[in-house]
């Protein structure tokens, strides 16, 4: 089954490349992973999210007045085909997915004598631009929280209420609901540090 899927994927990719003719934009090295939903409309956690492109990292980043109970590292990963689309065009295409991977902190493990490193995974939060979904705003973004440690992440997550993520992203994101102000690697890769 795996082999068949791989062949299909490669044939699709090859077809895409050949159709693009002699002057394509940078071809995708991997076939895009599209968002997938269960019959109840919950987002299915993409199997390969760990291999997505890292665009941002932070420690203890908080949007509210109250300090968090536990300071955590957060790493933002982006689905590779959507990443390449943004680098080429500066826009987030339909199907764009981000995964914010939350990890605890650890210290004093040799040879490190100072500093903190990201330890156990405590959850994954995703944002997905998909205008075809019911209930999304005009720009198409919805937010999903997969709460659990690495070995016990739930398989699916229902869309979060608008006041939990969407409103703040709509108000503060520097570009189309995405906090690229925290993602200099993404802006730089797209050739424009001010994006």
- Residue 181, sorted as left (phi over 0), alpha (psi -120 to 50) or beta, turns out to be alpha
Phi, psi angle pair for 134, to nearest 5°: -70, 140
Query: Could you give the CA distance from residue 99 to residue 53 in angstroms, rounded to a whole number?
Result: 10
Number of residues in contact with its own copies under rule CB under 8 A:
70
- Name the burial class of residue 175, with classes exposed (0-12), middle (13-18) and buried (19+) by CB atoms within 10 angstroms of its CB: middle
Among 39, 109, 135, 152, binds its own copies (CB under 8 A): 109
Segment lying near its own copies (by CB under 8 A), choices 34-42, 69-77, 131-139, 158-166: 69-77
Of 25, 30, 27, whose CA–CA distance to 10 is shortest?
30
Q: Which residues 27-66 are close enough to bind its own copies by CB under 8 A?
A: 27, 29-31, 48, 50-51, 53-54, 56-65
Handedness of CA 173, 102, 129, 80 (dihedral sign): positive
Closest to its own copies by CB, 40 vs 163, is 163
61 Cβ contact partners less than 8 Å away, ≥ 6 residues apart = 74, 182
Interface with its own copies includes 92 (CB under 8 A)?
no
**Shortest Å, Cβ 124 to its own copies:** 11
Interface with its own copies includes 67 (CB under 8 A)?
yes
CB 110 within 8 A of CB 96: no
Interface with its own copies includes 90 (CB under 8 A)?
no
Q: In 10 A of CB 105, how many CB atoms?
A: 16
**Shortest Å, Cβ 5 to its own copies:** 9
Interface with its own copies includes 26 (CB under 8 A)?
yes
Q: Which residues 111-150 are close enough to bind its own copies by CB under 8 A?
A: 111-121, 150
Chain positions contacting its own copies, by CB under 8 A: 2-3, 6-7, 9-11, 13-14, 17-18, 20-24, 26-27, 29-31, 48, 50-51, 53-54, 56-65, 67, 71, 73, 75, 77, 80, 83, 101, 103, 109-121, 150-151, 168, 171-172, 179, 181-182, 184-185, 188-189
């Amino acid at each position: 089954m795996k082999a068949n899927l791989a062949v299909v994927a490669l044939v699709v990719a090859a077809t895409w490349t050949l159709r693009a003719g002699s002057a394509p934009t940078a071809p995708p090295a991997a076939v895009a992973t599209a968002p997938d939903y269960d019959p109840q409309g919950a987002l299915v956690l993409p199997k390969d999210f760990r291999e997505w492109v890292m665009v941002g990292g932070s420690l203890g980043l908080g949007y509210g007045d109250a300090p968090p109970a536990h300071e955590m590292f957060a790493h933002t990963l982006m689905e590779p085909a959507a990443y390449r689309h943004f680098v080429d065009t500066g826009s987030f295409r339909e199907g764009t997915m981000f995964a914010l991977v939350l990890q605890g902190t650890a210290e004093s493990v040799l040879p490190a004598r100072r500093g903190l490193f990201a330890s156990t995974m405590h959850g994954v939060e995703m944002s997905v631009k998909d205008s075809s979904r019911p209930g999304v705003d005009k720009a198409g973004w919805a937010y999903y929280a997969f709460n659990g440690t690495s070995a016990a992440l739930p398989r699916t997550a229902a869309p979060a209420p608008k006041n939990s993520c969407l409103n703040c992203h709509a108000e503060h994101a520097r570009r189309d609901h995405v906090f690229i102000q925290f993602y200099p690697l993404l802006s730089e890769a797209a050739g424009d540090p001010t994006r």
